[in-house]
């Protein structure tokens, strides 16, 4: 073994870390396996050394995969006793293959429980909330109300609607974060933009906002889940309209090349303070700005949009000047012809 693998510092880390480390030689036999890896995989160090991964780990196809492929790779590896590890593999310049295993069983269980809780809570919340809104509407139908009562009732209805929307977004988020399968279809972004614009035309008219659309022709195709991408487009456009001041234009652009497709929404609305720009994509974050507090919203739209875009291998960001306006942009990888 070369010096790098036998230095005392390396040996110390190798023996004492709780992450599993396995190294195979150029010829494909196990040269090193640390105690953590042996314990995780239910073998002894002696059993493993000098053998090929196919022989000793036949119960763990994902692990064999990590050894037999080239380049860098990450895969979930099922361990004995229903445990789960994330395996990261890399080929060294000297031809050795290193596989690291990180036991994520507890983390995964917590995540699953958290998602189940969010999902149940949101379902259980939506029914009573919608009943609340429904009864508030009924009150008006059974007798004259004074202006004060009317005002309070309107507030009840608006609050119920807001809660209902938040609960709905939590369901979406739990579903997306639970790693729901995404469709894998060719997407025509222009078409999805048209649909989102149609859905939001009445809100725009109500707020005296003009939506200006410019889509490059031809637009590169992207591969993914059209419904989800449309939800991301809808969310950005919805925000552009909502956080605009009246009688202004919200500009929607889409362009791209053979590598990437871009989508942006630019408004001349209230803008976002510099110190909040990093926070707005966080779950449940809403600006401190009073003009935002007065508008309906639960602070989940951008979190969902970001999750959708990143799950498609893309990226999303915002630039803004307080009082001048904001631009939200996302980029997705274009389908290779």
Kindly state whether residue 280 participates in binding ligand ADP, applying the rule CB under 6 A.
Answer: yes
Nearer to ligand ADP among residue 87 and residue 325 (C-beta): 325
Cis before residue 101, ω within 30 degrees of 0?
no
Site string for ligand ADP, 176-215 (x = CB under 6 A): ----------------------------------------
Kindly state whether residue 302 participates in binding ligand ADP, applying the rule CB under 6 A.
Answer: yes
How far apart are CB 126 and ligand ADP at their closest, in Å?
A: 17
CB 237 within 8 A of CB 301: no
Nearer to ligand ADP among residue 38 and residue 170 (C-beta): 170
Phi, psi of 116 (to 5 degrees): -65, -40
Q: How many residues bind ligand ADP (CB under 6 A)?
A: 21
| SS3 category, 192 | helix
Angle between helices 105-141 and 147-177 (to 10 degrees): 160
Nearer to ligand ADP among residue 57 and residue 243 (C-beta): 243
Tokens of 220: 């590169």
* Pure H helices in 145-294: 147-177, 189-206, 226-242, 274-277, 290-293
Site string for ligand ADP, 212-241 (x = CB under 6 A): ---------------------------xx-
How far apart are CB 301 and ligand ADP at their closest, in Å?
A: 3
Kindly state whether residue 53 participates in binding ligand ADP, applying the rule CB under 6 A.
Answer: no
State how far Cα 159 lies from the chain centre.
Answer: 27
Kindly state whether residue 172 participates in binding ligand ADP, applying the rule CB under 6 A.
Answer: no
Burial group, residue 46, by CB count within 10 angstroms (0-12, 13-18, 19+): exposed
Nearer to ligand ADP among residue 183 and residue 324 (C-beta): 324
CB 187 within 8 A of CB 223: yes
C-alpha dihedral sign at 332, 298, 293, 285 = negative
Residue 204's alpha-carbon distances to 199, 211, 243, 319, in angstroms, are 10, 7, 11, 22
Among 20, 298, 312, 330, binds ligand ADP (CB under 6 A): 298
Residues 31, 41: Cα–Cα separation, whole Å: 16
Residues 253-272, interacting with ligand ADP (CB under 6 A): 267, 269-272
Q: Kindly list the strands in the beta sheet with 73-79, ordered across the sheet, starting from the edge strand earlier in the chain.
A: 30-33, 20-24, 97-103, 83-91, 73-79
Nearer to ligand ADP among residue 215 and residue 292 (C-beta): 292
How far apart are CB 295 and ligand ADP at their closest, in Å?
A: 7
Among 24, 174, 326, 334, binds ligand ADP (CB under 6 A): 326
How far apart are CB 72 and ligand ADP at their closest, in Å?
A: 33
How far apart are CB 2 and ligand ADP at their closest, in Å?
A: 51
Nearer to ligand ADP among residue 20 and residue 269 (C-beta): 269
Among 301, 308, 312, 314, binds ligand ADP (CB under 6 A): 301
Name the residues that contact ligand ADP, by CB under 6 A.
Answer: 239-240, 243, 267, 269-272, 280, 285-287, 292, 297-303, 326
């Amino acid at each position: 073994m070369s010096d790098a693998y036998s230095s005392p510092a390396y040996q110390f880390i190798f023996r004492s870390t709780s992450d599993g480390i396995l190294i195979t030689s150029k010829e494909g036999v196990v040269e090193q396996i640390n105690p953590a890896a042996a314990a995780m995989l239910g073998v002894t160090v002696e059993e493993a050394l000098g053998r090929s991964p196919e022989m000793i780990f036949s119960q763990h196809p994902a692990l064999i995969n990590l050894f037999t492929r080239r380049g860098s790779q990450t895969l979930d590896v099922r361990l004995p006793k229903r445990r789960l590890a994330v395996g990261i593999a890399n080929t060294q310049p000297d031809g050795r293959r290193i596989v690291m295993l990180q036991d994520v069983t507890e983390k995964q269980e917590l995540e699953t429980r958290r998602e189940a809780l969010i999902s149940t809570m949101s379902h259980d919340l939506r029914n009573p909330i919608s009943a609340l809104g429904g009864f508030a509407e009924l009150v008006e139908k059974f007798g004259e109300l004074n202006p004060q009562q009317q005002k309070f009732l309107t507030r009840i209805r608006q609050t119920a609607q807001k809660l209902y929307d938040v609960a709905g977004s939590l369901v979406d988020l739990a579903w997306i974060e639970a790693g729901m399968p995404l469709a894998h279809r060719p997407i025509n972004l222009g078409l999805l933009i048209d649909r989102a614009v149609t859905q939001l035309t009445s809100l725009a008219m109500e707020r005296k906002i003009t939506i200006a659309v410019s889509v490059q022709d031809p637009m590169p195709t992207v591969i993914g889940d059209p419904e989800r991408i449309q939800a991301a487009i809808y969310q950005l456009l919805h925000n552009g309209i909502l956080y605009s001041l009246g009688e202004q234009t919200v500009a929607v652009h889409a362009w791209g090349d053979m590598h990437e497709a871009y989508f942006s929404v630019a408004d001349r609305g209230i803008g976002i303070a510099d110190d909040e720009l990093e926070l707005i994509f966080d779950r449940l974050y809403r600006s401190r700005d009073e003009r935002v507090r007065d508008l309906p919203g639960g602070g989940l739209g951008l979190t969902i949009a970001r999750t959708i875009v990143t799950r498609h291998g893309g990226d999303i960001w915002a630039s803004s000047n307080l009082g001048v306006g904001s631009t939200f942009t996302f980029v997705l990888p274009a389908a290779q012809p």
